[in-house]
Structure 1
Amino acid sequence: MSRLLFKMRYVPEDEAQEVRDLLENNDLEFFETSAGNWGISVPAIWIVNDDQYNRARELIDDYQKHRTARIQDEFELNKKRGETKNMWHIFLENPVHFLLYMGLICLILYFSLNFFLSL
């Protein structure tokens, strides 16, 4: 009987492909389900044989530990180089859009809170 191995909702495409490759390289039989037309189904990777589940789970857990460490190292390296984006960088890239969005946020907050603040 098939068993849920890895939920794919909000998973970046590169990570999903690496998980697929990992399972294929270790000769683990799996299939994938999509979210469907309305996005209400479970997009996931399922392992076909229950006997292979523990091995597949160990491989994915190990992969995710290494991926997390790699992504954190890349972030720290980019942070040291000054390549990470913050609010100031976003403002400098497109100040008109930034100011319009901030104004819209303030307007929505004003109308939302005006009643409560006028009491």
Structure 2
Amino acid sequence: MPHHLMNLRNVPDDEADDIRALFEEHDVRYYETPPSRWGISMGGFWVHDNDEAARAKAILKSYQQQRFETQRRAYEEHVARGEVGGIWSMIRRQPVRTLAACVAILVIIGLSVLPFIRLG
């Protein structure tokens, strides 16, 4: 019976490539199904064998812990340099784009609420 190891929906290409290389390095006999364009099917990495699934899950767990730590460090470095922030930093970096997005949001809310306002 197939064992689903990992969902590939919203997984960055570099992470999927790392996992493929890791499985190849450790001779894990896996197969891959791609996620659909519209997000209907999730895609993923699969194996058929129970023992292979346990070994692959252990490898994945170790890799994901390592990736979490490196991504966390990279995020903290970006925060320290001021490259990552909230709404205020986005307004400072891209004021026109942010204003356009806010206007679009208000228009959509207005069009959504307009029928209910006319009822009253």
TM-score by length of 2: 0.81
- Give the aligned partner of residue 55 of structure 1: 55
Give the match for residue 21 of structure 1: 21
Number of the residue aligned with 2:32: 32
Distance 2:97 2:75 in 1: 26
SS of the aligned residue for 2:46 comes to: strand
**Aligned pair 1:74/2:70, yes or no?**
no
Aligned-residue RMSD, C-alpha: 2.4
Secondary structure of 2:4's aligned partner? strand
Provide, for residues 1-43 of structure 1, a one-character-per-residue CA deviation record: whole Å limited to 9, x for no partner.
4321111111111111111111110011011012346542331
Judged with a 3 Å threshold, the aligned counterparts in structure 2 of structure 1 residues 15 and 93 are, in CA distance, closer, same or farther, namely: same
Q: In 2, distance between residues paired with 1:36 and 1:82? A: 36
Note the C-alpha offset of 1:74: 0.8
Q: Any unmatched runs of 5+ in structure 1?
A: none
**Structure 2, unaligned runs of 5 or more:** none
What does residue 104 of structure 2 align with?
A: 104
State how many pairs are aligned: 119
The percentage of counterpart residues that share the same residue type is 31
Aligned mates of 1:79, 1:42 — CA distance in 2: 32
Cα offset, 1:103, TM superposition: 1.4
Q: What is the rounded CA distance, in whole Å, between the counterparts of 1:27 and 1:3 in structure 2?
A: 17
Q: What is the TM-score with the length of structure 1 in the denominator?
A: 0.82
Separation of aligned partners in 1, 2:92 and 2:38: 37
Segment of structure 1 superposing worse, 19-28 or 107-116: 107-116
